[in-house]
Amino acid sequence: MYATSLGDDGAELRPLEPWHAEEFLAHLDRGREFIGQHIPFGEQQTDVGSARELLTMYAHRRADDAGSLHGIWLDGKLVGGVLFRTFDAAQGTAEVGCWLEPAVVGRGLVTRAVRVLLDWAFDARGIHRVEWRASSANTPSINVARRLGMRRDGVLRENNLYRGARQDLEVWSLLAPEWREARAAGAAADHGDPR
């Protein structure tokens, strides 16, 4: 199994597989209330069997080239993840998302992990547009979109019914040329190029 380092703090990105079901469930249980503030991710996974079903569903999506789940481990402990909620290579579009335990918020783990997914989607797979969707009330998620250089396409007003309340849903996106330009500008700045 592969692991991609997310920096020098012991953080790694790895695929989440059905055999991770017990570890995944324990992780969800630690962060369930926090994760569920804005998204229903993990709500239905209340036992090992249902956790395995979700992981299996995404393993099939990965095999069908339609989506994937990736866990974020910090010092060997699963603490969050990122995903391609949708992935359509033929259309050149994908949607990324994330979730995280409250104990590790503020360390840049999600931003670093999504950068790995974006590099792979744009460079290896030829994806042209990646979307990020978040409730307008989910400021940390919107801040990740901003840090990644995404642009807000618009707000779907009261589009999302969640826990009995209507939420505005923001749609952010990033295009492959924008990502490459930002990455090149960052590399130039790292090397003192005055561009």
Question: What residue ranges define each of the domains in the chain, with the CATH number in brackets?
Answer: 4-190 (3.40.630.30)
pLDDT of residue 125: 96
Nearest alpha carbon to residue 48 among 11, 80, 19, 16: 19
pTM of the prediction? Answer: 0.89
Q: How confident is the model at residue 70 (pLDDT cuts 50, 70, 90)?
A: very high
Q: Where are the beta strands (DSSP E) in 67-164?
A: 68-74, 77-88, 93-100, 129-135, 151-162
Q: Read off the pLDDT of each residue in 159-173 and give the average, rounded to a whole number.
A: 89
Nearest alpha carbon to residue 8 among 104, 112, 89: 112
pLDDT of residue 192: 56
C-alpha–C-alpha distance, residues 49 and 21, integer Å: 8
pLDDT of residue 43: 77
99-113 pLDDT, tens digit each: 999 999 999 999 999
C-alpha–C-alpha distance, residues 48 and 64, integer Å: 24
pLDDT of residue 37: 76
Would you say residue 194 has pLDDT above 80? no
pLDDT of residue 1: 58
pLDDT of residue 193: 47
C-alpha–C-alpha distance, residues 81 and 143, integer Å: 17
